[in-house]
Structure 1
Amino acid sequence: MKPVQPLEVLRRPDRRELEPEVISAEPVKIEAKGISKIYSSKKSDFVALDSVSFDIRNHEFVSFVGPSGCGKSSLLRILAGLEDASSGELRIAGHEIDGPGADRGMVFQSYTLFPWLTVRENIEFGLTLKGIPLFEKRRISDHFMELVQLTKFAKSYPKELSGGMKQRVAIARALANNPEVLLMDEPFGALDPQTKGSMQEMLLQLWEKEKTTIVFITHDIEEAIFLSQRVHVMQAHPGRIKHTVQIPSSLRKGVDGRDYEAFLRMKRQIVAQIGETSAH
């Protein structure tokens, strides 16, 4: 199926024409071919994913959206190496995925921080396991605490932080290990709208600065449009990619852009596509 093209956008004299970003020049970072996942029980088999194929290019930000039960989280866990696919091929930078690896960082919706470690110690946790020298660990943790604006909280423990701050630590910890790919499963789903908006802006700034390839799972269509270069729309029962939407870069120019007619049109387009997949 050919990718769905963006809807015609409204022209305004003070806005440049919205165009999809040119990303084809980048090499392929993630290659998935015919990924299927079947969960078996004594009574029956459940097909969570059925022949899912896609490519994600280096430095690309791609989101997956779809109804509950479409296999988004299963796909992310397979990418993380936490589950095996029942069939298909999955490679990162040309190498077949065989369990978890340092080339992938993972951020979940729940706050997966170690409560007995400070902000700095949480960020440095993976570096400590790698045996990174103290001076280098401090340099790296200083860098990422500054990026997520938590330098003043270096000695604080998770119980002393807000939900948004905890998630900033989790993102900093994942990026501190210099992964080739950052996998994010509903990372802002538990946050209030205001905090969520600021976290989305922060993530975009981090992505633009660090150039990490990001695979993002969300139920929030506005979030997917605001953050992503491409959005894969999935159907459930079984989980398949039914549509792929290119997102113009101008729709990521700030939260205020969400009021722009082009953003709302793009949202209506994806809502309709999810409605189509839910009806099947």
Structure 2
Amino acid sequence: MPSTGTFAGAGTDTGVRKIEAVDVTKVYSTKKSQFVALDRVSFHVDAHEFVSFVGPSGCGKSSLLRIIAGLEPLTMGDLSINGHEIEGPGADRGMVFQSYTLFPWLSVRENIEFGLTLKGVPLFEKRAIADHFMELVGLHKFAKSLPKELSGGMKQRVAIARALANNPGVLLMDEPFGALDPQTKNAMQELLLRIWEKEKTTVVFITHDIEEAIFLSQRVYVMQAHPGTIRSEIAIPRGMRQVEDVKDSEAFVKLKKQIISLIGHHDE
């Protein structure tokens, strides 16, 4: 890709708040003690935006995502999607984990169609939706394959396609590429960007990989641990990805150093 020579503009502001969090606090309690995983965390995500949360282990990234997904209750604070308080899991949110969470006895097509089947979507419509997303993630030739016949990257593509097939308003991703080798990881990052640019789904992405956060996101929230809080919000310049060998560019390296400094150590 040709270099633009400039990084004018940053992030995005559609003016439409998709997710709004105010003073979100999560405390885990046992008989003997309490552990504050998240302490008064406030942030927002606009519609169609790609936002990442990056930070060290123990900063509460995954707990935060599970709260957004409705899988865990918050202890204090307010968290809403489209202006409605989150009270539990919902079809408006799709989730992709680091583990592939595919049904091993179902084919690629059947895994992608699973949520649609539960919704009672008519067969012809269900097949058309699955065909679209298999094509989108490059798995149309593997429709009848079982998960055991797929590589790690292919399994994660199925998981992404399955989540998107249900037409969620928000796609929640918890370190989805963390278990992949570097080459496959880079390919999956490129694929995810192409999918996001085509589908314009709102994405909340959790990672400990600083380069990944910068490369994928429009904004990055930098977290710190003990307790988990948001230390800073970083807007990623719009022209960043148009630069050839972007991860080696001066602007990219500068952002990486800035985030490393904010986190306070070099553990990526």
The one of 178, 183, 188 equivalent to 1:194 is: 183
Quote the Cα distance in structure 2 between the aligned partners of 1:92 and 1:102. Answer: 12
For residues 90-130 of structure 1, the C-alpha deviation after alignment (integer angstroms, 9 at most, x for no partner) is 10011111100000000000010000000000000000000
CA distance in 2, matches of 1:55, 1:175: 22
Indicate the SS of the match to 1:249: coil
Does the CA-based 8 Å contact 1:235-1:241 persist in structure 2? yes
Aligned match of 2:155? 166
Give the TM-score taking structure 2 as reference length. Answer: 0.96
**How do residues 97-136 of structure 1 correspond to structure 2 at under 5 angstroms?**
97-136=86-125
SS at match of 1:272: helix
Matched, 1:259 2:241: no
Unaligned runs of at least 5 residues, structure 2: none
Please state if 1:142 is matched with 2:142.
Answer: no
Provide the residue aligned with 1:47 in structure 2.
Answer: 36
Extract unaligned runs of 5+ from structure 1.
Answer: 1-12
- The answer as to 2:169 corresponding to 1:180 is yes
What CA distance in whole angstroms lies between the structure 2 residues aligned with 1:117 and 1:99?
27
TM-score of the superposition, structure 1-length normalised? 0.92
Query: Aligned in 2, Cα 1:14/1:94: closer, same or farther, shift over 3 Å?
Result: closer
Q: Give the superposition deviation at 1:255.
A: 7.5
One-letter amino acid of the structure 1 residue matched with residue 167 of structure 2? N
Query: What are the Cα deviations for residues 113-149 of structure 1, in whole angstroms up to 9, with x where unaligned?
Result: 0000000000000000000000000100000000000
In the alignment, residue 127 of structure 2 is paired with which amino acid? Answer: R
After superposition, the C-alpha distances for 1:34-74 in whole angstroms (9 at most, x for unaligned) are 10000001111000000101111000100001111110000
Task: Give a deviation string over 1:151-209, Cα, whole Å, max 9, x none.
Answer: 00000000000000000000000000000000000000000000000000000000011
The reply on whether 1:68 has 2:57 as its aligned counterpart is yes
**Aligned twin of 1:238:** 227
User: What is the CA–CA distance in structure 1 between the aligned matches of 2:193 and 2:151, rounded to whole Å?
Assistant: 20
Against the structure 1 CA distance between its residues 268 and 46, is the aligned structure 2 distance closer, same or farther, given a 3 Å change threshold? same
Q: Deviations over 1:228-260 (max 9, x none)?
A: 000000111111101100001222237721111
**Are the structure 2 counterparts of residues 37 and 22 from structure 1 closer, same or farther at C-alpha, using a change threshold of 3 Å?**
closer
> Identity of aligned pairs, percent?
72
Distance in 2 between the 1:61 and 1:106 partners? 14
Contact 1:64 1:217 in 2 (8 A): yes
Q: Could you say what secondary structure the match of 2:9 adopts?
A: coil
- The 8 Å contact of residues 185 and 218 in structure 1, kept in 2 or not, is answered as yes
Structure 1: how far apart are the matches of 2:46 and 2:183? 31
Q: Tell me whether 1:218 sits opposite 2:214 in the alignment.
A: no
Instruction: Pick from 69, 82, 87 the counterpart of residue 80 of structure 1.
Output: 69
Question: Contact 1:82–1:99 (CA<8 Å) still a contact in 2?
Answer: yes
**CA 1:73 to 1:27, structure 2 compared with 1: closer, same or farther past 3 Å?**
same
Q: Distance in 1 between matches of 2:36 and 2:27?
A: 4
**How many residue pairs end up in the alignment?**
266
SS in 1 for 2:57: coil
Kept after mapping to 1: 8 A contact 2:96/2:163: yes
- RMSD over aligned Cα atoms: 1.7
